[in-house]
Amino acid sequence: MLNDIKEVLFSEEYLANIVQRMGKQISEDYKDKNLLMVSVLKGSVVFMADLMRAISVPCRVDFMSVSSYGSGVKTSGVVKIVKDLDIPLAGYDLLVVEDILDSGMTLSYILELLQSRGPRSIRLCTLFDKPERRTVDITADYVGTTVPDAFIVGYGLDYDEKYRNLPFVGILKPEVYGG
Ligand code: 5GP
Ligand code: MG
Ligand code: MG
């Protein structure tokens, strides 16, 4: 598995620092709100697990799963709900937690859907942002760090469902995905 990594972009320690900083900011912003963190599976699961423990105000969590990528590296534009949320959204201040904001198509679809369910507010939180890849007009309210336009894996992010368990984030060797 480690042989497939060309370069480590963010170490475990670096990621932990980012998440702590985001958790502090979110705790400050949501102290008088009714926070419901919504994690978009599966990529954000590692980030979510760390971020929720870096948040010091009361919060609830829920999960949804959409598919937009299949096993490849390019957005198909098709977003399908694989698993919906359990909690009705009325009265909640939603924080949508994503692993990476790339074209923005996935998140823009999710946002519209969640907005239609009448939550009190919605904000977006993404660990990674690739702003130059955006095809729809969307910006996150909380961004961990911007990343270069390369395909990254680890800390929840997969290629073909692999590499999610790497504790750091790295760039795959192009030959691994036939690039
Ligand atoms: P978007 O709809 O913004 O183009 O795509 C968002 C989703 O694409 C992310 O949640 C993630 O699953 C996947 N994605 C985008 N860029 C990368 C990347 O560099 N590495 C990995 N592993 N997944 C990515
Ligand atoms: Mg995601
Ligand atoms: Mg994926």
CB distance 135 to 104 below 8 Å? yes
Ligand 1, atom 9, lies closest to the CA of: 100
pLDDT for res 74: 56
64, 97, 99, best to mutate for ligand 1 pocket (most atoms within 8 Å of CB): 99
- 162 belongs to a structural domain: no
C-beta atoms surrounding 84 within 10 Å: 11
Give the position, in ligand 1's atom list, of the atom nearest the Cα of 104: 3
pLDDT for res 106: 86
- 7 belongs to a structural domain: no
Is 152's C-beta closer than 6 angstroms to any atom of ligand 1? yes
Is 67's C-beta closer than 6 angstroms to any atom of ligand 1? no
Give the Cα separation of 14 and 144 in Å (integer): 11
- 171 belongs to a structural domain: no
C-beta atoms surrounding 26 within 10 Å: 25
Cβ burial, residue 155 (10 Å; 0-12/13-18/19+): buried
Range of the domain at 47: 12-152
- 75 belongs to a structural domain: yes
Is 79's C-beta closer than 6 angstroms to any atom of ligand 1? no
- 20 belongs to a structural domain: yes
CA–centroid distance, 77 to ligand 3, in Å, is: 14
> What stretches of the chain adopt beta strand conformation (E)?
5-10, 35-41, 59-67, 80-83, 93-101, 121-129, 142-146, 152-153, 169-172
- 179 belongs to a structural domain: no
Is 100's C-beta closer than 6 angstroms to any atom of ligand 1? yes
pLDDT for res 2: 87
- 49 belongs to a structural domain: yes
- 96 belongs to a structural domain: yes
Question: How many domains does the chain divide into?
Answer: 1
State the catalytic residues. Answer: 102
Is 125's C-beta closer than 6 angstroms to any atom of ligand 1? no
Taking only the tens of pLDDT, the chain with its 179 residues reads 889 999 999 999 999 999 999 999 999 999 999 999 999 999 999 999 999 999 999 999 999 998 765 555 555 556 788 999 999 999 999 999 999 999 998 889 899 999 999 999 999 999 999 999 999 999 999 999 999 988 999 999 999 999 999 999 999 998 998 86
C-beta atoms surrounding 168 within 10 Å: 16
pLDDT for res 13: 98
Provide the CATH number for the domain around residue 23: 3.40.50.2020
